[in-house]
Amino acid sequence: MSAMPVGHGVGSRWRCRRRQRRGRTVATMDSDEPAPPRMVRHRTHSRPARPHAVLLRLSDEEKAAIDRAAAAARLTPTGYAAKAAVAAASAGKAPAGPTDDLRDLQHELFAARRAVAMFGNNVNQAAAAFNATGLLPDWAAEAVRLCAAAVARLDEVISLIDRRLR
């Protein structure tokens, strides 16, 4: 069925008739009724058209979230998903995923390793000072406290890894 405009430009009417599709009433191009005003806008079109398409598979909850966000931004869900994906990729910010949690744990382990290495160096310095003078340096007690705190943080990271693996 082809669209037959009556007039041209702003305010032109299209011939459309209403019919049922999937339980909804939709307009087809056979009536003298004006087309209903669009509540959403499309993202800026690119000429020539964008050559690539990406298929998204979403759960009902994910689809509903995108629909709500798209409506708030006054975009189509497809346009909203495309703009969000391009913005995230352009910002160099990857979406959260299972590797992000592991990456955070890896950073914690690296920091704990550095701390343990520094405390080991402090223990060696304290032992050298004790061997030379027979007295522990004043800072030895603080070094022991910091070492105990680093071991406690390591225990936390290990328990986080244990929870992730269960």
Is 109 a member of any domain? yes
Please compute the mean of the pLDDT values over residues 16-38 and round it to a whole number: 55
Handedness of CA 61, 45, 12, 6 (dihedral sign): negative
Query: pLDDT at residue 160 above 70?
Result: yes
**Structure tokens, 19:** 């019919």
Is 104 a member of any domain? yes
Query: Left, alpha or beta for 19 (phi > 0: left; psi -120 to 50: alpha)?
Result: beta
Last-in-domain residue among 69, 91, 113? 91
Same domain, 128 and 155: yes
Name the residue with higher pLDDT: 28 or 68: 68
Is 4 a member of any domain? no
Same domain, 103 and 154: yes
Please compute the mean of the pLDDT values over residues 42-66 and round it to a whole number: 82
- The number of domains in the chain is 2
pLDDT-derived band at 91 (thresholds 50, 70, 90) equals confident
Query: pLDDT at residue 122 above 60?
Result: yes
- So what's the pLDDT on residue 126? 87
The Cα–Cα gap between 158 and 135 comes to: 36
Is 114 a member of any domain? yes
Name the residue with higher pLDDT: 33 or 85: 85
Query: pLDDT at residue 75 above 60?
Result: yes
160: number of Cβ within 10 Å: 14
- So what's the pLDDT on residue 1? 46
The Cα–Cα gap between 154 and 20 comes to: 63
pLDDT-derived band at 149 (thresholds 50, 70, 90) equals confident
Token match 């744990």: residue? 105
pTM metric for this prediction: 0.37
Handedness of CA 23, 25, 26, 28 (dihedral sign): positive
